[in-house]
Amino acid sequence: MKILLLGDASNCHNTLSTGLRNLGHEVIVASNGTGWMQTPRDIDISRRLPGKAGGMELYIRMLRLCTTRLKGFDVVAIHSPLFLQLQPDRVRRIFDIVKRNNRSVFLTALSTDSLYVNECLDPASPLQYTEYMHFGSPAPMAIERPHLLRDWQSNQLTGHCNYIYGNIDGAVAVLYEYYLAICRGLPQHRRAYGGIPIDMEASTPVEIPENPETIRLFLGRHAGRLTAKGTDRLEIAARRAIERHPGKAELIIVENRPIAEYRQLLASAHVVIDQAYSYSPATNALLAMANGQCAVTGAEPEYYDFIGESDNKPMFNSPVDVDAMTTMFEKIITSPPGELRRRGLKSREFVMRHNDATIVASRFARFWEERLMAKTAKHHNA
């Protein structure tokens, strides 16, 4: 197939393109490089100017691209209902043109939208804690940045998201949480789970010593999303645990680095601290695990059940409470000889089985092909 991946976050679409090319598909990635991450892309669609001038320039550039390089694809996958840094009405106009000029348009559910926020706020949701709610009460981010909830629940953004979901050919979620969200907007035959793709060939194997003299804890974080990921609490807990066991561990903090540089720095760690408010591991944790490192992340039983994994459960599942986090870090620091090494090796096996880029790409491609076949059959029968 000829495939356009339109937009990106956390290098997901770019890595997916690697897997799709391995399968023989022709793929173009158009994105803004996810800001400071500077992720690779074939077509740059970032805002080049500040303010309204930047929005107008990008909108005009997108209109031109829609008539040249962004048409004639079998599959277009957008990374979010807001797949451009533009106002919703302009995003919608670009979406309509893209849909008209290509065979199909799908959503890769890999970021927040109104459906996901509704899932987080629903008392009946299986998600008992998220970046927005903790067991029925507002989470730190919801208290610190209440406008985020108001924005996603506004008529403008809710209407925009509903329009996109109503006009795509289907959606593929990369996380368990996002799959629950798309269930709110799509029937079963128009949704699927793909997983986060990880390029195993680009991983840097790390051999954790049998008995490290000093355990290196690595916290890679987004400066603007500390309360969203719980990395503020994780840092407090890690420092407390280190203070209680002098000389046994150290904490390395890396913040807002380009993806290529970040992956080099990541290789120095034994244990990578990802996030606290998730049920499943995201890109940061999976990159570390692909290297053979241990990960502190979300790894609830619901996630393992969802992906059909009953034997290999190598992640340290982070609690939400700081005291419980501290206890977890103390157990990591005082792990018996060989424990971290064993978990690291099991972590690499886990990613190879569940998140290798080619395996994930095959899930995406299979779903897209099924939907295209159904669409063609419906057209012929009309």
Q: What is the pLDDT of residues 313-345, one digit of tens each?
A: 999 999 999 999 999 999 999 999 999 999 999
The reported pLDDT for the residue numbered 37 is 82
Task: Residue 22: give the domain boundaries.
Answer: 2-197+357-381
Could you read off the pLDDT of 337-347 as tens digits, one per residue?
A: 999 999 999 99
> Once rounded to an integer, what is the mean pLDDT over residues 128-146?
94
pLDDT at 227 over 90: no
Same domain as 189, residue 227: no
Structure-block tokens of residue 273: 């601290």
Same domain as 361, residue 324: no
Same domain as 123, residue 20: yes
Give dist(CA 299, CA 68) in Å, integer. 44
pLDDT at 378 over 80: no
Same domain as 331, residue 242: yes
Structure-block tokens of residue 87: 């106002």
> Once rounded to an integer, what is the mean pLDDT over residues 165-193?
97
Of residues 29 and 205, more confidence is placed in 29
Q: Which residues contact 111 (CB under 8 A, 6 or more apart)?
A: 9, 79, 80
Same domain as 162, residue 24: yes
Give dist(CA 42, CA 6) in Å, integer. 10
Same domain as 221, residue 168: no
Handedness of CA 302, 347, 345, 15 (dihedral sign): positive
What is the pLDDT of the chain when averaged over all its residues? 95
Same domain as 102, residue 149: yes
> Once rounded to an integer, what is the mean pLDDT over residues 108-137?
96
Same domain as 134, residue 50: yes
Q: How many domains would you assign to the chain? A: 2
Same domain as 177, residue 31: yes
Closest by Cα among 225, 212, 280, 201 to 15: 201
Same domain as 168, residue 294: no
Same domain as 348, residue 288: yes
Q: CATH number for the domain including 179?
A: 3.40.50.2000
**pLDDT-based confidence at 255, cuts 50/70/90?**
confident
Same domain as 277, residue 225: yes
Give dist(CA 28, CA 171) in Å, integer. 19
